[in-house]
Structure 1
Amino acid sequence: MTLTPYQGGRRLMAPALVAAVAGLALTAVGALVDPRRALFAYLVAFVYWIGIALGALILLGAFHASNARWPVVLRRFVETVPAALPLFVVLFIPIALGMKRLFVWMAPPETLAPEMAHAVHHKLPYLNAGGFLGRAAIYFLFWIVVAHLLRSWSLRQDTAGGATLTRWQRRLGAGSLPFLALTLTFASFDWMMSLDPRFFSTIFGVYWFAGSFMAAFAVTIIAATLSRPDPTAFGHHMSLEHFHSLGKFLLAFIAFWAYVAFSQFMLIWIANIPEEVPWYILRIDGGWRWVGVFLALFHFVVPFFLLLSRDLKRNPRALSLVAGWLLLVHWVDLYWLVMPHLDPAGPRPSIWDLTAFVGVGGAAIAFTIFRLRGTFTVPVRDPYLEDSLRYLPQ
Structure 2
Amino acid sequence: MSAPDFTISPQLGRNLERVQQRSLIVGIVALLLCVSGAVFAPQQFFRSYLYSYMFYIGLTLGCMALAMLQYLSGGAWGIVIRRITESATRTILLLLFLFIPIVIGIPSLYSWSHDDVVRADPILLYLNVPFFLGRAAFYFAGWLIFAHFMNKWSHQQDAGGGRTLARRLQLLSGPGLVFYGLSVTFAAVDWVMSIEPHWFSTIYGLLFIAGQGLSALCFCIALLVIFSREGGPLEGVIGPAHLHDIGKLMLTFTMLWAYFSYSQFLIIWSGNLADEIPWYIERLRGGWQWIGLVLVAF
Which residue in the other structure is 2:249 paired with? 249
1:202 aligns with 2:181: no
1:269-280 residue pairs with structure 2 within 5 A? 269-280=269-280
Deviation at 1:235, TM superposition (A): 6.1
8 Å CA contact retained: 1:100, 1:107: yes
1:101 aligns with 2:108: yes
Distance in 1, matches of 2:211 and 2:4, equals 34
Rate the CA distance shift 1:191–1:209 in 2: closer, same or farther, 3 A.
same
Deviation at 1:231, TM superposition (A): 6.3
Which residue in the other structure is 1:363 paired with? none
Structure 2 unaligned segments of length 5 or more: list them: none
Distance in 2, matches of 1:236 and 1:296, equals 39
Question: 1:138-176: per-residue Cα shift (whole Å, max 9, x none)?
Answer: 111111111121111111111124111111111111221
1:160 aligns with 2:167: no
| More moved, 19-28 vs 262-271 | 19-28
Distance in 1, matches of 2:229 and 2:236, equals 6
Letter in 1 for 2:135: R
8 Å CA contact retained: 2:67, 2:82: yes
Q: TM-score, normalised by structure 1?
A: 0.69
Which residue in the other structure is 1:217 paired with? 217
Rate the CA distance shift 1:223–1:52 in 2: closer, same or farther, 3 A.
same
Give the RMSD, CA atoms, in angstroms: 2.3
1:226-245 residue pairs with structure 2 within 5 A? 226-229=226-229, 233-234=233-234, 236-245=236-245
Which residue in the other structure is 1:121 paired with? 122
Letter in 1 for 2:258: A
Structure 1 unaligned segments of length 5 or more: list them: 111-115, 302-394
Distance in 1, matches of 2:144 and 2:291, equals 34
Rate the CA distance shift 1:11–1:236 in 2: closer, same or farther, 3 A.
farther
Letter in 2 for 1:53: T
Three-state SS of the structure 1 residue aligned to 2:283 is: helix
Distance in 2, matches of 1:82 and 1:43, equals 20
Which residue in the other structure is 2:30 paired with? 23
1:133-152 residue pairs with structure 2 within 5 A? 133-152=133-152
Identity, % of aligned pairs?
Answer: 35
Q: TM-score, normalised by structure 2?
A: 0.90
Rate the CA distance shift 1:229–1:3 in 2: closer, same or farther, 3 A.
farther
Deviation at 1:109, TM superposition (A): 7.0
Distance in 1, matches of 2:224 and 2:4, equals 16
Q: 2:75 aligns with which of 68, 71, 75?
A: 68
In terms of fraction of residues, the more helix-rich structure is 2
Distance in 1, matches of 2:93 and 2:207, equals 24
8 Å CA contact retained: 1:74, 1:235: no
Distance in 2, matches of 1:148 and 1:85, equals 10
Q: 1:42 aligns with which of 35, 46, 49?
A: 49
Aligned length in residues = 291
Rate the CA distance shift 1:42–1:154 in 2: closer, same or farther, 3 A.
same
Distance in 2, matches of 1:286 and 1:14, equals 37
Three-state SS of the structure 1 residue aligned to 2:178 is: helix
Distance in 1, matches of 2:7 and 2:53, equals 28
